[in-house]
Amino acid sequence: MHTDTLDWRDGQPYSTRFDDVYFSTNPNNPQQGIAETEYVFLQHNHLAQRWQQLTTTSFSIAETGFGTGLNFLCACKLWLQSAPADARLHFISTEKYPLTLVQMQKAHAIWHDLTEVSQALLSQYNALTDGVHRFSLFSGRICLTLHIGDIQTVLPQVQTPIDAWFLDGFSPAKNPEMWHADVFAHMARLSHTTTTFATFTSAGLVRRGLLAHGFSVNKAEGFGRKREMLYGQFAGQTQRNSLHTPSHTPSSAIVIGGGIAGCATAYALAIRGIQVTLLERHANIAQEASGNPRGVLYPRLAGHQNSADVLAMSSYLYTLRLMAQLAMTAEAWNPCGLLQLACNARESNRIEAVASRRLNEALVRYVDRDEASQLAGIPLSVSGLYFAEGGWVSPQAFCHALVQHPNISVNTDVHVSHLTSSLPQWQAISESKQEFNADIIVIANANDALRLSQSAHLPVTAVRGQMTTVSATEQSAQLKLVLCTEGYITPAMDQHHCLGATFAKDDLALDLRDEDNQKNIELLKPMSPSFNDLSSQTSVGRAALRCTTPDYLPLLGQLLNADVLTQQPPKHKTEANKLPWHHGLYVNVGHGSKGLTTAPLCAEILASMIIGDPLPIEITLAQQLNPNRFLLKTLGLKRLVDLSFKPA
């Protein structure tokens, strides 16, 4: 990924890469860019009138060229003023050369009328990478899905029907790729009979491209020095069969499990207006693996990009934004920074390979031993990767923050024994014969998913882990950030460090073991001499079971009826579209030791699948998380079946 290179002319940004302005400029009127956006995009898509008369629960805008985010900010402001309070705006945008946070802050500084919406965006605008980035603003009323990459690669990933198009790349003469025929073809694929468009340009190739793909095209007086602009409406054939359009939208949901996966799923559904009943078998939420006093937030990256790597990075950035939304306290979330250290040959090779990928340095960068020691506040023995925005989290506090939403009802001491379906609703029945009803159910109870007949076939494995809380020494208390290699240690809080964690397969016992505390301490010794005096004599432990999968990717999505599929597998490709789905039954499990990072994004993915929102990750990755992938492979059906997500 490359950021754009800017000149600043009269305090306003100018792209040296494209030799063009980002918006109409006037040194005597810094607000001219806002006036241009309002005239070209808001007025000529008739947004104020359409939003005041909105009868649907959401509205989708797609934009070609995010730039400074000016069009997005203006649309946000108008939405908050005009749209029903219970409706959601989806703004999908593309950008090949995103601006840095510093560049964005400087560009936004001149737009005083947009301060509120600008601050909401910039508070979450962290380092970006190639791929999809999801921002949720104003308690979920506005959702930005920002695709970083070439537009011809990005648009095939979009599957959501679009209501209005903002065509705002740099001029066709200077950025022809933004106005390629493929762009117009995807516009037609995503449009319907009331879809509108507007663009600042009146170039002939743009007008001809739009006409050729089913749009009616009108000319209007251009803004400022531009003579003419184009606007219009889609008049072609709607291609609904290619779009993600659920058959119905649920109004109620049951989420089984009160750990991070369950609480994050409840939150993602609740902000979409769904009434959520969360069922937890313990007396309080966050009692198992999510009950550790502290966990570390970071992505473990590979030397080369693969599915797990993309999920790790996307999840990390999403969880950072979620922390900003929830306004977590310093006692619950400390973005103190994190160092991954090269304490053995394998880790050294991996870290060197990651460094060679030349990722966004604002996100992660290689540091030598001296710089690492300076960042850590203690002498370190090795070099490593520095994540400036990483840190530690209280998983319990995180879970409690997620369920503090008026649409979520938490029910504890409920041990769900079985599920039944009398469509259109599902029932969750507890061991004490309590019955809970909802339109959909999400199973998010980790290894306990195996206790329910509909999910008993899932290939999840319990892996024991024990973390340790140890008294700080005078030397270790100087630690300023999180360190990790095969183990991890957090900075001292109340004179204690948290460290861990052991990894024991085929061991389901939860007894606390002195030898495991000692193992966790020993893992720290190669990091720094400052840890030599840490003692297991001043430590306490906590054991829990992780939930893992064979390929270490989560299981996420709607479940197939494994019993029916096993007895009556499709014999031909033509039968693959008639698979026996458990309509309205979903799962979000299998996060292993990475749940703090991956579970929130997976919850957002799942909620987007259910509602029909734009996906916050690439479609190809969503398909690889399909919870039925192992079942299909076992039955020899993987190549016959479309593994794309299935709506409710």
Q: Looking at residue 300, what is its pLDDT?
A: 92
For the chain, give the longest Cα–Cα distance.
79
Q: Is the dihedral of CA 205, 209, 211, 215 positive or negative?
A: negative
pLDDT, tens digit, 9 for 90 and up, residues 418-429: 999 988 899 999
Reply yes or no on whether the pLDDT at 37 is more than 70.
yes
> In 237-306, which residue ranges form alpha helices assigned H by DSSP?
260-270
Residues in the chain: 648
Contact yes or no for 175/203 (Cβ under 8 A) = no
CB 255, CB 442: distance < 8 Å: yes
Distance separating alpha carbons of residues 368 and 454, to the nearest angstrom: 51
Geometric angle at alpha carbon 421, from 419 and 424, rounded to 5°: 140
| Structure token digits, residue 403 | 């369920």
CA 70/CA 194 separation, integer angstroms: 25
Identify whether the C-beta of residue 572 lies closer than 8 Å to the C-beta of residue 278. Answer: no
Tell me how crowded residue 219 is: count the other CB atoms within 10 A of its CB: 13
Dig out the tokens for 481 from the structure: 């950030």
In tens, the pLDDT along 489-542 reads: 999 999 999 998 999 988 999 999 999 999 999 999 999 999 999 988 878 999
Q: Is 358 or 564 the better-scoring residue by pLDDT? A: 564
* Contact predicate 232/196, CB 8 Å: yes
Q: Which two tokens stand for residue 589?
A: 């499990």
- Where do the DSSP E strands lie in 446-538? 461-471, 482-484, 488-489, 496-500, 504-505
Q: How far is CA 602 from CA 311, 347, 488, in A?
A: 9, 27, 24
Q: What are the tokens at 108?
A: 């936004």
472 pLDDT band, cuts 50/70/90, is: very high
> Which of residues 304 and 469 earns the better pLDDT score?
469
Query: What percent of the chain lies above the pLDDT cut of 70?
Result: 93
Q: Does domain 338-388+461-548 have CATH number 3.30.9.10?
A: yes
CA distances (Å), origin 532, targets 139, 463, 536:
47, 29, 11
What are the angstrom distances between the C-alpha of 124 and each of 118, 320, 429? 10, 8, 40
Is pLDDT of 317 > 80? yes
**Cα–Cα distance measured from residue 314 to residue 3, given in angstroms and rounded to the nearest whole number:** 18
Q: What average pLDDT does the segment 87-102 reach?
A: 94
User: So what's the pLDDT on residue 576?
Assistant: 65
Residue showing tokens 């190639």: 130
Domain range summary for the chain, segments of one domain joined by + = 6-242, 252-286+397-460+551-634, 338-388+461-548
Query: Residue 306: its pLDDT value, please?
Result: 87
- Give bridge partners of residue 143 from the DSSP assignment: 90, 136
Top-confidence residue, 431 or 20: 431
Task: State residue 220's pLDDT score.
Answer: 96
SS3 (DSSP) at 148: strand
CATH code: domain 6-242 is 3.40.50.150
Single-letter amino acid code for the residue at 493: M
Segment (H or E) for 153: helix 151-154
The pLDDT value recorded for residue 540 is: 92
Q: Three-state DSSP class for 442?
A: strand
Contact 354, 303 (CB under 8 A): yes
For the chain, the average pLDDT equals 92
- In whole angstroms, what separates CA 536 from the centre of its chain? 38
Contact 609, 615 (CB under 8 A): yes
Instruction: Please give the structure tokens belonging to residue 543.
Output: 């054991």
pLDDT in tens, 566-611: 998 887 766 667 789 999 999 999 999 999 999 999 999 999 999 9
What is the C-alpha radius of gyration for the chain, rounded to an integer number of angstroms?
Answer: 26
**Fold category of 252-286+397-460+551-634 in CATH:** FAD/NAD(P)-binding domain (3.50.50)
Q: Which of 354, 345, 352 is nearest to 305 (CA)?
A: 354
Which single residue is written with the structure tokens 């969880």? 319
**Per-residue pLDDT, 641:** 55
Phi, psi angle pair for 536, to nearest 5° = -70, -15
Residue 547 has pLDDT above 80, yes or no: yes
In the structure, what pLDDT confidence band is assigned to residue 30 with cuts at 50, 70 and 90?
Answer: low
The yes-or-no verdict on residue 1 having pLDDT over 60 is: no
Most confident of the following: 65-74, 124-133, 304-313: 65-74
In this predicted structure, the answer to whether residue 632 has a pLDDT above a threshold of 50 is yes
Query: Checking DSSP bridges between strand 164-167 and strand 196-199, what pairing results, if any?
Result: parallel
Residue 538 token pair: 């001043």
Segment 241-260, tens digit of pLDDT: 555 666 678 999 999 999 99
**144-148, 227-231, 555-559, 574-578: lowest mean pLDDT where?**
574-578
- What is residue 648's predicted lDDT score, i.e. its pLDDT? 42
According to the model, what pLDDT value does residue 49 have? 98
Give the pLDDT confidence score for residue 170 in this predicted structure: 67
Angle at 193 (CA atoms; ends 187, 198), nearest 5 degrees: 50
| pLDDT, greater one: 327 or 475 | 475
* Residue 19: both structure tokens together: 């030799």
Phi-psi bin for 123: left (phi > 0), alpha (psi -120 to 50), beta? alpha
* Over residues 262-282, mean pLDDT: 98
Give the amino acid at 369: R
Q: Which amino acid is at 138?
A: F
Which pLDDT tens digit goes with each residue over 167-185? 987 677 777 778 889 999 9
Identify which of 65, 114, 248, 89 has the alpha carbon closest to the alpha carbon of residue 164: 89
Three-state secondary structure readout of 561-630 = CHHHHHHCCCCCHHHHHHCCEEEEEEEEECCHHHHHHHHHHHHHHHHHHHHCCCCCCCHHHHHHCCCCHH
Q: What is the DSSP string of 16-81?
A: TTTTEESS---TT-TTHHHHHHIIIIIITTTHHHHHHT--SSEEEEEEE--TTSHHHHHHHHHHHH
Q: What is the C-alpha to C-alpha distance for residues 4 and 17, in angstroms, rounded to an integer? A: 7
Identity of the amino acid at 459: P
Q: If we measure between CA atoms, which residue out of 399, 411, 452, 442 comes closest to residue 278? A: 411
Cα 467 to Cα 469: distance, rounded to the nearest angstrom: 7
Q: 295 to each of 260, 396, 400, 468, 595, how far by Cα in Å?
A: 12, 10, 15, 11, 10
Average pLDDT over residues 191-212: 95
Residue 229: exposure state from Cβ atoms within 10 A (0-12, 13-18, ≥19) = buried
CB 596 within 8 Å of CB 393: yes
Q: Tell me the two tokens of residue 446.
A: 């980790």
Neighbouring C-alpha atoms within 13 Å toward the C-beta of 418: 4
